[in-house]
């Protein structure tokens, strides 16, 4: 019963993108905009996955390289590389992905819980796995992805 | 139509003189005309207007306790009625509000329930009258037939309850709780809070003026009005405890108005205490839910007792802590200067203190939510950035299209003006802060038993709203120091031939893009030798070091330093001045101290006009561009050949005018590639924060510009050395450097102490690095 209940909450529209050959999905409501890769100003003394900041229409937005956040080696940016600006609480953050695919409407019956891989792998950042469209899409909880204490301090410091 | 007419009456009543019977009679006849012509109005509305007309008649017949107050109530009643004049009868909210108004007017036409017991006949006489008026009206809508019943019975209960109400509510209100009626209109309450707090501030200022000039009738009237209006509205909103307090305070002022007493000494104390307590109670209302019980502040009952019979409690014009303290004068002289305020510029003439105090804000103004204001200011800032991106585009610059270039330039002019206006919106005058200080000086003076004259100058000088709170504590501390340690007491001053009344002067003005605030006291001044000795004792500096006056006095900002022989609970512990300096520097400002022993001390605060904009130098390191706020830059120079040396182990030093300064390379601290590593080819920038200096090597300086500070966002919580970002003209982001953070960053990575010149015994000199 609880599985069904949680599955219903996860159904909806997702923006799918590709990262290192894998398909991922983000809740569309959390996406603010998508743009091509821009010049990034590095900020010293930040973790390696924090690439820096960019200027989007007069706003300073921090940029995270999702590959590095996931521990995947980074790669050269191509013309398909995109920045997806997402909302994490009240704050906007940009994530770098290899390629943006499409917006998919995923129904509850297509969503499964992610299998337990054991202690080694941290799966709380994954909302579930979708088999819609004939391929496996990993649905991410973006606030948890960009989290580990960062989100809580994000909210606390926010005006 | 009816609504407009009624609103017009309300406005006219506002302007009328309570003693001008003829004007009132004329107004009343016009109102009566409108009342007679009323069609399709609810019975509540008709009832209210009837009562209003009766009230006006009472004023004309001199049959009221307080004509002005009655007229005020009529004004409110008519205004509210205007709101509902064209609204359906069964709107519950209209019934509620009008009910209140009706109750208020009725209580006016009969003696005040709180003051005296109502006459027996009048409540009963009116109840049937009220209900007959309502029941006899035929209303078109069927459902509203029930409404009049509710109204009449409610009015009846309210009416007959006026006598018992105060007792009933007294039951519900136990010793230290009072009830916020559940009928309270939250919106009206909010307005009441805002306006009353304003009035209290004005009243307090007038009280302080009165202490030195106790015959000033206009000031007395000002305070009286403040208490009076608060009493009225509090009564309207059923805020019994507040009404009671303001009523008693008003009585005291009334006695002053009649010339029976003077508002000095004990009476002044009582009045000021009333202001404080009212302020506390009214602020406590904000956010309170109707229907809940609120706590009375401690000493509420005591104050009520004192106010009810001051003489019995021992209060009088001369009862004070000491005879000397009663000589305390608090006076403010204000020079108005034209400083280009948004409201169209203050007048250039010299205005007298009295005039200022009684009518400080002559211009009209409106209230705007700060959220909206901030959004507007942000948008204006983004517009400037977007424009400069267009203006710097090659297409515009290369001159191929002169018309385009001209138009873009024209846009730029307009946008810059818009930006200036938006920035000005953030500014508020320092008046409020200075007023708070006025009160502080008075209270401290009495406590410390010193006579003080407090002068303010330039309180219309404006500062960024976001900075007002931040400078409050530093100013308080500085004033405490001045009063506690700076000013000598009465006897000492007399003995040394000084004016026995000490002077503390707070002055503010704009200068070169900064707001300057000076605090001057003519006390005993700073003892330079003592300070230096203490500093050496504490190990802050080493002995034998040559110090300029500025540096010597600047030592008072070092933590833990205090030459006070005794610590009072006001100051003396030595933890204040360093906090003052760091608070000011956090705002990108500077503090400076100057003093003359025996004559006094002056502390000068220099603050940027606004926190949103930083006047910075653009530094280049490699490909990156950084901004360093100008207030923190001591100087920049290209090192002379031979002035660079390495200290054994780590670190480089550069010598400047005989002093050795540790040199840090920015590209090193920030890991930037392709930067200039040879100090002789680069530029050295000397930065200073919290008394510490540090020399930085950069590639070069690429100009100085004002940039809008953008926060990097919470993700970059504590990046050492960087405090924010700004968008440069070409769209790139330049990181804004944090001087103190950089100094810390640099020193944590080296073994050399900062303030002292390098003390190492082995120095290798190099001609090139």
CB contact under 8 A, B732 and A41: yes
CB contact under 8 A, A43 and B711: no
Question: What does A38-53 look like in DSSP terms, one character per residue?
Answer: ---B--SS--TTEEEE
Average pLDDT over residues B545-561: 76
Mutate to test the interface with B, among A53, A69, A159 (most CBs of B within 10 A): A53
Average pLDDT over residues B294-318: 80
B576: pLDDT strictly greater than 80:
no
Residue that wins the pLDDT comparison between B4 and B200: B200
**Which helix (H) or strand (E) element contains residue A6?**
helix A2-10
What pLDDT is recorded for position A2?
Answer: 47
Angstrom distances, CA of residue B582 to CA of B430, B562, B576, B632: 21, 17, 10, 13
CB-facing half-sphere around the CA of B506: CA atoms within 13 A:
27
What pLDDT is recorded for position B166?
Answer: 41
CB contact under 8 A, B721 and A54: no
Say which residues have a Cβ less than 8 Å from residue B398's Cβ, sequence separation at least 6: none
- % of chain B with per-residue pLDDT over 70: 76
Min mean pLDDT across A62-71, B103-112, B684-693 is at B103-112
State the nearest Cα–Cα gap between B368 and chain A, in angstroms. Answer: 19
Residue that wins the pLDDT comparison between B599 and A1: B599
Q: Could you give the CA distance from residue B224 to residue B246 in angstroms, rounded to a whole number?
A: 10
Residue that wins the pLDDT comparison between B657 and B504: B504
Q: What is the pLDDT of residues B614-625, one digit of tens each?
A: 788 999 988 889
Q: Give which of A97, A104, A95 is closest to A32, Cα–Cα.
A: A95
At which residue do the structure tokens 């004049």 appear?
B85
- % of chain B with per-residue pLDDT over 90: 7
Q: Could you give the CA distance from residue B724 to residue B738 in angstroms, rounded to a whole number?
A: 8
CB B486 within 8 A of CB B524: yes
B86: pLDDT strictly greater than 70:
no
State the nearest Cα–Cα gap between B451 and chain A, in angstroms. Answer: 44
Residue that wins the pLDDT comparison between A5 and B681: B681
State the nearest Cα–Cα gap between B468 and chain A, in angstroms. Answer: 18
Whole-angstrom Cα Rg for chain A:
16
Q: Could you give the CA distance from residue B586 to residue B738 in angstroms, rounded to a whole number?
A: 10
What pLDDT is recorded for position B131?
Answer: 34
CB B280 within 8 A of CB B242: no
Average pLDDT over residues B426-451: 85
Angstrom distances, CA of residue B71 to CA of A56, B31, B109, B122, B486: 58, 14, 12, 21, 52
Q: Give which of B700, B666, B701 is closest to B682, Cα–Cα.
A: B700
Q: If you ran DSSP here, which 8-state letter would residue B141 be given?
A: S
Min mean pLDDT across B102-116, B502-516, B746-760 is at B746-760
CB B277 within 8 A of CB B300: yes
- B388 to chain A: closest CA residue: A58
What pLDDT is recorded for position B574?
Answer: 53
Q: For residue A81, name the pLDDT band (cuts at 50, 70, 90).
A: very high
B334: pLDDT strictly greater than 50:
no
State the nearest Cα–Cα gap between A56 and chain B, in angstroms. Answer: 9
B397: pLDDT strictly greater than 90:
no
CB B180 within 8 A of CB B288: yes
CB contact under 8 A, B715 and A55: no
CB contact under 8 A, A60 and B671: no
Burial class (CB in 10 A: 0-12, 13-18, 19+), B728: buried
B141: pLDDT strictly greater than 70:
no
What pLDDT is recorded for position A102?
Answer: 92
Mutate to test the interface with A, among B723, B733, B734, B742 (most CBs of A within 10 A): B733
Q: Give which of B432, B453, B431, B459 is closest to B441, Cα–Cα.
A: B453
Q: In A, which residues are within 8 Å of B612 by CB distance?
A: none
Q: Which runs of E-coded beta strand occur in A29-157?
A: 31-36, 50-56, 59-65, 82-88, 91-97, 99-106, 111-112, 126-130, 137-140
Say which residues have a Cβ less than 8 Å from residue A12's Cβ, sequence separation at least 6: A27, A28, A29, A105, A106
- A94 to chain B: closest CA residue: B715
Q: If you ran DSSP here, which 8-state letter would residue B482 be given?
A: I
State the nearest Cα–Cα gap between B189 and chain A, in angstroms. Answer: 27
Residues 670-729 of B with CB under 8 A from A: 670-671, 710-717, 719-722, 725, 727
SS3 B718: coil
What pLDDT is recorded for position B765?
Answer: 33
Most confident by average pLDDT, B320-324, B541-545, B557-561, B728-732: B728-732
- The average confidence (pLDDT) of chain B is 74
Q: How many beta-carbon contacts under 8 Å exist across A and B?
A: 73
Average pLDDT over residues B594-623: 87
Average pLDDT over residues B159-187: 57
Average pLDDT over residues B51-64: 83
- B384 to chain A: closest CA residue: A58
In this structure, chain B runs to a length of 769
CB B581 within 8 A of CB B554: no
SS3 B471: helix
Residue that wins the pLDDT comparison between B768 and B262: B262
**Which helix (H) or strand (E) element contains residue B724?**
strand B722-727
CB contact under 8 A, B381 and A58: yes
CB contact under 8 A, A42 and B624: yes
Widest CA span of chain A, in angstroms?
Answer: 49
B104: pLDDT strictly greater than 90:
no
B168: pLDDT strictly greater than 80:
no
B197: pLDDT strictly greater than 70:
yes
- A51 to chain B: closest CA residue: B716
Angstrom distances, CA of residue A106 to CA of A7, A23, B269, B769: 11, 14, 72, 64
Residues 34-93 of A with CB under 8 A from B: 39, 41-46, 50, 53-55, 57-62, 91-93
What pLDDT is recorded for position B161?
Answer: 38
Residue that wins the pLDDT comparison between B26 and B211: B26
Q: Could you give the CA distance from residue B204 to residue B211 in angstroms, rounded to a whole number?
A: 11
CB B700 within 8 A of CB B667: no
CB B712 within 8 A of CB A62: yes
Give the ipTM.
0.76
Q: Could you give the CA distance from residue B627 to residue B620 in angstroms, rounded to a whole number?
A: 9
Q: What is the pLDDT of residues B713-736, one digit of tens each?
A: 777 766 678 888 888 877 788 999
What pLDDT is recorded for position B559?
Answer: 65
Q: Could you give the CA distance from residue B371 to residue B244 in angstroms, rounded to a whole number?
A: 36
Can you say whether the dihedral through the CA atoms of B617, B620, B626, B631 is positive or negative?
negative
What pLDDT is recorded for position B338?
Answer: 32
Q: What is the pLDDT of residues B481-490, one digit of tens each?
A: 888 888 888 8
B406: pLDDT strictly greater than 60:
yes
Q: For residue B709, name the pLDDT band (cuts at 50, 70, 90).
A: confident
| Beta strand A59-65 pairing with A91-97 | parallel
Average pLDDT over residues B378-382: 80
Q: Could you give the CA distance from residue B28 to residue B454 in angstroms, rounded to a whole number?
A: 50
Q: For residue A33, name the pLDDT band (cuts at 50, 70, 90).
A: very high
Q: For residue B96, name the pLDDT band (cuts at 50, 70, 90).
A: low
Its pTM stands at: 0.57
Mutate to test the interface with B, among A39, A45, A154 (most CBs of B within 10 A): A45
CB B140 within 8 A of CB B130: no
State the nearest Cα–Cα gap between B388 and chain A, in angstroms. Answer: 11
Candidates A44, A53, A158; nearest CB to B714: A158
Candidates B382, B717, B734; nearest CB to A157: B717
What pLDDT is recorded for position A93?
Answer: 92
Alpha helices in B449-486 (DSSP H): 465-481
A158: pLDDT strictly greater than 70:
no
What pLDDT is recorded for position B140?
Answer: 37
| Beta strand B644-647 pairing with B652-656 | antiparallel
CB contact under 8 A, A41 and B624: yes
Q: In A, which residues are within 8 Å of B716 by CB distance?
A: 43, 46, 50, 62
Q: What is the pLDDT of residues B254-273, one digit of tens each?
A: 888 888 888 877 788 888 88
What pLDDT is recorded for position B336?
Answer: 34
CB contact under 8 A, A44 and B733: no
Question: H/E/C letters for each residue in B653-665?
Answer: EEEECCEEEEEEE
Question: H/E/C letters for each residue in B619-637?
Answer: EEECCEEEEEEHHHEEEEE
CB contact under 8 A, B386 and A58: yes
Q: B217: how many CB neighbours lie within 10 A of its CB? A: 10
CB contact under 8 A, B382 and A42: no
Q: Could you give the CA distance from residue B167 to residue B114 in angstroms, rounded to a whole number?
A: 9
CB A18 within 8 A of CB A98: yes
Is B486 in CB contact (< 8 Å) with chain A? no
Q: For residue B350, name the pLDDT band (cuts at 50, 70, 90).
A: very low
Q: Could you give the CA distance from residue B95 to residue B101 in angstroms, rounded to a whole number?
A: 10
CB contact under 8 A, A44 and B719: yes
Residue that wins the pLDDT comparison between B417 and B611: B417
Residue that wins the pLDDT comparison between B225 and B149: B225
| Beta strand B659-665 pairing with B692-698 | parallel
Q: What is the pLDDT of residues A100-129, one digit of tens each?
A: 999 999 988 888 887 776 555 566 788 888
| Beta strand A22-27 pairing with A137-140 | parallel
CB-facing half-sphere around the CA of B303: CA atoms within 13 A:
24
What pLDDT is recorded for position B145?
Answer: 36
């Amino acid at each position: 019963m609880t599985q069904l209940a949680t599955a219903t909450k996860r159904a909806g529209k997702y923006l799918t993108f590709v990262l290192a050959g894998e398909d991922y999905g983000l809740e569309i409501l959390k996406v603010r905009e998508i743009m091509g890769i821009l010049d990034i100003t590095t900020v010293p003394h930040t973790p390696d996955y924090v690439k820096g900041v960019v200027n989007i229409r007069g706003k300073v937005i921090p940029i995270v390289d999702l590959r590095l956040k996931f521990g995947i080696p980074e790669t050269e940016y191509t013309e398909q590389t995109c920045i997806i600006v997402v909302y994490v609480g009240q704050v906007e953050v940009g994530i770098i992905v290899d390629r943006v695919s499409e917006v998919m409407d995923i129904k509850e019956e297509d969503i499964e819980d992610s299998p337990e891989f054991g202690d080694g792998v941290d799966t709380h950042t994954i909302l579930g796995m979708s088999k819609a469209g004939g391929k496996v899409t990993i649905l991410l909880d973006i606030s948890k992805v960009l989290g580990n204490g960062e989100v809580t301090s994000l909210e606390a410091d926010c005006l | 139509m009816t609504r407009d007419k009624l609103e017009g009456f309300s406005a006219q009543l506002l302007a009328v003189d309570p003693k001008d019977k003829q004007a009132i009679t004329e107004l009343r006849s016009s109102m009566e005309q409108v009342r007679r012509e009323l069609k399709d109005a609810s019975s509540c509305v008709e009832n209210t207007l009837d009562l209003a007309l009766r009230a006006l008649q009472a004023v004309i017949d001199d049959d009221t306790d307080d004509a002005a107050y009655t007229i005020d109530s009529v004004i409110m009643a008519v205004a509210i009625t205007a709101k509902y004049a064209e609204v359906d009868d069964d709107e519950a909210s209209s019934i509620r509000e009008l009910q209140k108004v009706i109750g208020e007017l009725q209580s006016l036409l009969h003696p005040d329930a709180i003051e005296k017991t109502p006459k027996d006949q009048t409540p009963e006489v009116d109840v049937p009258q009220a209900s007959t008026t309502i029941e006899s009206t035929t209303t078109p809508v069927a459902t509203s037939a029930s409404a009049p019943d509710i109204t009449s019975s409610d009015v009846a209960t309210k009416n007959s309850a006026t006598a018992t109400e105060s007792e009933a509510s007294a039951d519900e209100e136990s010793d230290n709780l009072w009830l916020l009626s559940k009928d309270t209109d939250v919106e009206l309450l909010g307005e009441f809070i805002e306006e009353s707090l304003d009035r209290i501030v004005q009243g307090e200022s007038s009280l302080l003026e009165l202490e030195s000039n106790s015959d000033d009738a206009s000031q007395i009237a000002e305070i009286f009005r403040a208490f009076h209006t608060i009493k009225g509205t509090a009564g309207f909103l059923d805020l019994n405890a507040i009404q009671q307090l303001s009523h008693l305070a008003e009585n005291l002022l009334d006695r002053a108005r009649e010339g029976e007493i003077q508002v000095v000494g004990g009476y002044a104390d009582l009045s000021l205490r009333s202001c404080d307590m009212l302020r506390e109670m009214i602020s406590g209302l904000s956010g309170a839910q109707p229907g809940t019980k609120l706590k009375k502040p401690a000493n509420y009952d005591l104050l009520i007792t004192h106010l009810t019979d001051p003489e019995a409690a021992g209060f009088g014009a001369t009862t004070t802590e000491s005879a000397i303290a009663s000589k305390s004068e608090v006076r403010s002289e204000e020079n108005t200067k034209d400083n280009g305020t948004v409201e169209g510029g203050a007048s250039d003439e010299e205005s007298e203190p009295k005039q200022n105090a009684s009518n400080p804000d002559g211009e009209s103004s409106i209230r705007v939510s700060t959220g909206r204001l901030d959004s507007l200011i942000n948008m204006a800032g983004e517009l400037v950035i977007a424009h400069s991106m267009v203006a710097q585009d090659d297409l515009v610059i290369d001159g191929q299209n002169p018309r385009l270039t001209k138009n873009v330039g024209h846009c730029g002019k307009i946008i810059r003006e818009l930006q200036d206006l938006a920035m000005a919106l953030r500014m508020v005058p320092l008046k409020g802060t200075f007023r708070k200080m006025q009160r502080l000086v008075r209270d401290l003076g009495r406590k410390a038993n010193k006579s003080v004259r407090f002068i303010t100058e330039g309180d219309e000088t404006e500062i960024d709203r976001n900075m007002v709170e931040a400078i409050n504590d530093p100013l308080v501390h500085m004033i405490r120091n001045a009063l506690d340690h700076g000013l000598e007491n009465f006897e000492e001053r007399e003995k040394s031939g000084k004016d026995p009344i000490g002077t503390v002067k707070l002055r503010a003005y704009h200068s070169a893009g900064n707001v300057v605030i000076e605090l001057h006291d003519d006390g005993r001044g700073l003892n330079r030798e003592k300070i230096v000795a203490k500093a050496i004792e504490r190990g802050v500096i080493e002995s034998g070091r040559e110090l300029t006056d500025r540096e010597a006095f600047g030592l008072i900002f070092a933590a833990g330093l205090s030459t006070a022989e005794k610590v009072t609970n006001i100051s003396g512990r030595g933890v204040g001045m360093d906090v003052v300096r760091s608070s000011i520097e956090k705002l990108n400002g500077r503090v400076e101290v100057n003093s003359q022993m025996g004559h006094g001390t002056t502390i000068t605060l220099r603050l940027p006009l606004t926190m949103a904009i930083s006047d910075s130098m653009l530094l280049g390191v490699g490909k990156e561009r950084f901004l360093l706020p100008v207030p923190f830059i001591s100087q920049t120079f290209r090192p002379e050949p031979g002035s660079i040396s390495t200290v054994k182990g780590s670190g480089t030093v550069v010598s400047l005018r005989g002093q050795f300064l540790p040199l840090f390379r920015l590209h090193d601290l920030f890991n930037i590639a392709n930067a200039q590593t040879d100090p002789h080819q680069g530029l050295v920038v000397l930065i200073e924060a919290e008394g510490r200096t540090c020399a930085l090597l950069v590639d070069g300086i690429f100009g100085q510009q004002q940039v809008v500070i953008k926060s990097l966002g919470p993700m970059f919580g504590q990046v050492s050395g960087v405090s924010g970002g700004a968008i440069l003209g070409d769209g790139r982001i330049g990181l804004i450097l944090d001087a103190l953070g950089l100094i810390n960053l640099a020193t944590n990575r080296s073994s050399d102490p900062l303030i002292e010149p390098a003390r190492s015994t082995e120095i290798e000199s190099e001609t090139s690095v």
